[in-house]
Amino acid sequence: MSIIRQDPTTREWVIIAAERMRRPHEYNHPDETRLRAVANGPCPFCPGHEASTPEEVFRLPDSSGTGWAVRVTSNKFPALGDGGGLERRETGPLFREMDGVGTHEVIIETPAHDRTLAIMTDHEVADILTAYQARYRALRKDPRLKYIMIFKNHGEAAGTSLAHPHSQLVATPVPPMLLRRKYDVAVAHYDDTGRCLYRDIADEERQAKSRVVLETDRFLVFHPFASRVAFETWIMPKRHQPSFGQVSEEDLHELAPVLRRTLRALYDRLDDPDFNYIIHSAPIEDENKAYYLWHIQILPRLSTIAGFELGSGIFISTMLPEQSASVIREHHQASVDGAST
Amino acid sequence: MSIIRQDPTTREWVIIAAERMRRPHEYNHPDETRLRAVANGPCPFCPGHEASTPEEVFRLPDSSGTGWAVRVTSNKFPALGDGGGLERRETGPLFREMDGVGTHEVIIETPAHDRTLAIMTDHEVADILTAYQARYRALRKDPRLKYIMIFKNHGEAAGTSLAHPHSQLVATPVPPMLLRRKYDVAVAHYDDTGRCLYRDIADEERQAKSRVVLETDRFLVFHPFASRVAFETWIMPKRHQPSFGQVSEEDLHELAPVLRRTLRALYDRLDDPDFNYIIHSAPIEDENKAYYLWHIQILPRLSTIAGFELGSGIFISTMLPEQSASVIREHHQASVDGAST
């Protein structure tokens, strides 16, 4: 089992999952070693190899009814797992740790090894979002879990060790400091103004226009004012929904083409860039409050996170969001003028 | 000039340095493009090409007195620069920005293109530390600057775009949120206990022994309790010194072999790993207070920072610091038994 330790200088938690490193010599380049090991064998996420993944926790059937469209399984090298308790142990007055309790799942997005979200159909993307939400809703009932994060690593620079399209879900027994920070800022804004911070941001972005790239009845897509990286993109609902678990089926079917078109524009304009996306939600116990709005943050990984970012937390971006948004708006316009998409 | 914008959801600042991207097509992979461009020409950091770097702000002569041992110049693609003022502008009630005022310098560590800190002599390392400190002391007099960070990116995975050994110094007109966080935690500890948090951590590490890898009269080297990555290493002074600017010449000459041996152990055991190091100091205006201790944080980049880390701020490490510390202690023991080092 992994353990969770608190950094006494920041009070942030760190997960130490020593079993994710399978053999001692892997400490050199664990990700690459694992990637090579997997590349040499058959892909465990492809149809016919279902037995080589850990326990399946969710499945959507394909249209024929004989196979699957999306599968969710436990992670083979989980950062957090089911055993252990929530008690903190102090191994010294400053050194606090606890068991690595939580959930770490893999969403296998498609049976097709070489497919990717940007070139899927709306129906395929909707299936993936449906799987995300089913797992979010199932796990939020577990009283040990404080926060559920769904995210995707696409490409080596974004930390993928398996090529077959997949996303991940991690549920933690402690709230991440970054979430606490975002949440505290949102609560302070609500106390000051009586309004949701994210709603106000959406209103200002809509008024400024220059960073908005797409708008539908229910969703707004924009490049945020203080983008951390070039082409950072946020997708935000227009109605009040603190957590991704609250999204309705109608919302999901409108979100699917919005997410697909957003990823397709990046795929076309940046030549299938490596990227991460993160679905941010309120802490589970606060999902009925007025402060927060779930949102998808897409971070293309065009440059490397280096010492300055790691040491200060300040990112250095190389492009104004107004510039990148104009590139993407042009793309959407051309797609509409041209044909399909 | 670059601009600095505040993220309204975290209140953290982001630097947008659009001129770091020299041509529009570079937005795909700016770092790689620059690396290729530089690799095709002569190295601007090698002797004989001094004219191809921006203004030199510091130089240590070599032993012959005709050449240089260490040079410090302005960065050719600065994230922050000299023009502009400190006023914040609001482009909307939530959107705050300011000029990219500050300093961004490059410390060229040696005339030798293929050398690296781990295999230098103590004297060469002492020269680099002397240059760091001279620049720190010169810049802390600038009232516009709030924080000075010296850091190094070694290897592509750590964000280096130039092979010739170099470090960087960035001085910011706003305090980074991560520094504020570390500082607030340290002040709270001082208020609670009347003692410096970092001194207490050093005492606990010395008592636990299991994470300590090296100790000299003036310095303690250990793998921190909540290591963010495998083989994370901290070097901390034993005397009270909030800022790197306060280090004495005697301290520097003891620090040089400590830093070199620490990097050499990682070089030997992990096969010249990519790494970042960061010299953390107190905010400039607080460097005479009792709360903080400067320290060097070394982060080997053995795995990729992926969506979970970016979305939550929580790192997943693959090795207990007790395990990695024992590997490094063995190395130091073998070096002492064997010969030189």
A200 to chain B: nearest residue by CA?
B94
Interatomic CA distance for residues A173 and A149, integer angstroms: 12
Taking contacts as CB-CB distances below 8 angstroms, the residues of chain B near A6 are 226
Q: Which of A188-197, A329-338, B122-131, B185-194 has the lowest mean pLDDT?
A: A329-338
Residue among A284, A298, A293, A288 nearest A224 (CA): A298
**Residue A10: closest C-alpha in chain B:** B182
Residues of A in contact with B93 (CB under 8 A): 200, 204
- Residue A36: the pLDDT is 53
Encoded tokens for A136:
């979010």
Contacts of B149 (CB under 8 A, 6+ apart): A308, A311, A312, B169, B170, B171, B172, B176, B278, B279, B280, B281
Separation of alpha carbons A37 and A30, rounded Å: 11
Measured in angstroms, the CA of A16 and the nearest CA of chain B are apart by 5
What is the nearest CA distance from A185 to chain B, expressed in angstroms? 6
Rounded CA separation B17/A319 (Å): 7
Strands A315-317, B13-16: pairing kind: parallel
Give me chain A's average pLDDT, please: 92
How far apart are the CA of A37 and the nearest CA of chain B, in angstroms?
A: 16
Minimal-distance CA residue of chain A relative to B267: A28
Spatial distance between the Cα atoms of A206 and A198, rounded to a whole number of angstroms: 12
> Closest approach of chain B CAs to the CA of A66, in angstroms?
33
Q: What are phi and psi of A64, to 5 degrees?
A: -75, -20
pLDDT at position A320, please?
A: 95
Q: Is the pLDDT of residue A177 over 70?
A: yes
CA distance to partner chain B, nearest, from residue A144 (Å): 18
Chain B interface disruption, residue of A90, A316, A327, A331, most B CBs within 10 A: A316
How far is A306 from B117, CA to CA, in rounded Å? Answer: 18
> How close is the nearest chain A Cα to the Cα of B110, in Å?
20
Torsional sign, CA A34, A39, A41, A44? positive
In the numeric block, which tokens belong to residue A5?
A: 């330790």
Q: Provide the pLDDT for residue A119.
A: 96
Instruction: Assign A336 a pLDDT band (cuts: 50, 70, 90).
Output: confident
- Looking at residue A42, its pLDDT comes to 86
Residues of chain A in contact with residue B307, where contact means CB-CB under 8 angstroms, are 151-153, 158-159, 168, 276-278, 299
Strand partners, B105: B74, B169
pLDDT value, residue A1: 82
Q: How far is CA B340 from CA B123, B334, B336, in A?
A: 15, 11, 7
Residue A99 has pLDDT above 80, yes or no: yes
Contact state of B13 with A305 under an 8 Å Cβ cutoff: no
Instruction: With H, G, I as helix, E, B as strand and everything else as coil, classify residue B330.
Output: helix
**If 0-12 CB within 10 Å is exposed, 13-18 middle and 19+ buried, where does residue A55 land?**
exposed
Q: What is the pLDDT of residue B35?
A: 52
Is the CB of B273 less than 8 angstroms away from the CB of A28? yes
- The structure tokens 């060097």 sit at B296
Q: Do B170 and A308 count as a contact with CB atoms less than 8 A apart?
A: yes
pLDDT of residue A38: 55
B308 and A18 in contact by Cβ < 8 A? no
pLDDT at A44 over 70: yes
Domains of chain B in sequence order = 3-153+160-172 (3.30.428.10), 177-338 (3.30.428.10)
**DSSP one-letter string for A245-308:** GG--HHHHHHHHHHHHHHHHHHHHHHTS--EEEEEE---GGGTTSSS---EEEEEE--S---HH
Between A340 and A164, whose confidence is greater? A164
A14 to B228: CB separation less than 8 angstroms, yes or no: yes
Provide, as residue numbers in chain B, all residues whose Cβ is less than 8 Å from the Cβ of A230. 21, 27, 30
Q: CA of B55, closest CA in chain A: separation in Å? A: 22
Q: What is the pLDDT of residue B50?
A: 94
Q: Is A318 in Cβ contact with B30 (below 8 Å)?
A: yes
pLDDT for the residue A24: 47
Measured between beta carbons, which residues in chain B are less than 8 angstroms from residue A181? 10, 177
Whether A278 contacts B310, CB under 8 Å: yes
Which of the residues A4, A9, A319 would you substitute to probe the B interface, choosing the one with the greatest number of B C-beta atoms within 10 Å?
Answer: A9
CB-CB under 8 Å, B204 with A30 = no
Q: How far is A302 from chain B (nearest CA, A)?
A: 5
Q: How far is B242 from chain A (nearest CA, A)?
A: 14
Contact B128/B112 with Cβ under 8 angstroms?
no
Structure tokens, B222: 């250990």
Q: Please tell me the predicted confidence (pLDDT) of residue A41.
A: 75
Look at B28 and A270 and tell me if their CB atoms are within 8 Å: yes
Between B76 and A70, the more confident residue is A70
Q: Do the Cβ atoms of A14 and B201 come within 8 Å? A: no
pLDDT in tens, A261-314: 999 999 999 999 999 999 999 999 999 999 999 999 999 999 999 999 999 999
Write the residue in A151, A230, A305 that is nearest to B307 by C-beta. Answer: A151
CA distance B195 to B34: 47
8 Å CB contact of B95 and A225: yes
Q: Give per-residue pLDDT as tens, A152-162.
A: 999 999 998 78
Nearest CA in chain A to B35: A303
* Cβ contact, residue pair A201, B8, below 8 Å: yes
CB-based contacts of B112, cutoff 8 Å, min separation 6: B165
Q: What residues of chain A lie within 8 A of the CB of B281, using their CB?
A: none
Interface test with B, best of A89, A271, A304 (most B CBs within 10 A): A304
How far CA A33 is from CA of A136, A162, B37, B128, B316, in Å, comes to 31, 12, 31, 35, 17
Q: Does residue A166 contact residue A45 with C-beta atoms inside 8 Å?
A: yes
Q: Which of A303, A246, A251 is nearest to B156 (CA)?
A: A303
Choose between B263 and A21: higher pLDDT. Answer: B263
Contacts of A160 in chain B (CB under 8 A): 306
Kindly determine whether residue B21 and residue A280, on different chains, have CB atoms separated by under 8 Å: no
Distance CA A207, CA A198 (A): 14
Q: Is A318 in Cβ contact with B17 (below 8 Å)?
A: yes
CB distance A204–B92 less than 8 Å?
A: yes
CB contact under 8 A, A201 and B271: no
Mutate to test the interface with A, among B13, B14, B209 (most CBs of A within 10 A): B14
Count other Cβ atoms within 10 Å, centred on residue A201. 24
Chain B residues touching A11 at Cβ < 8 A: 185
CA distance A134 to chain B (A): 20
Rounded to 10°, the helix A249-270/A321-338 angle is: 100
Q: Which of B304, B320, B324, B330 would you mutate first to test chain A, the one with the most A CBs within 10 A?
A: B304
Q: How distant is the Cα of A269 from the closest Cα of chain B, in angstroms?
A: 9
Mean pLDDT for A116-141 is 97
pLDDT, block means (10 residues), chain B with 341 residues: 94 87 50 54 91 94 93 93 92 93 97 96 98 97 96 95 93 94 95 96 97 98 97 97 96 98 97 97 93 97 95 95 96 77 48
Separation of alpha carbons A39 and A321, rounded Å: 37
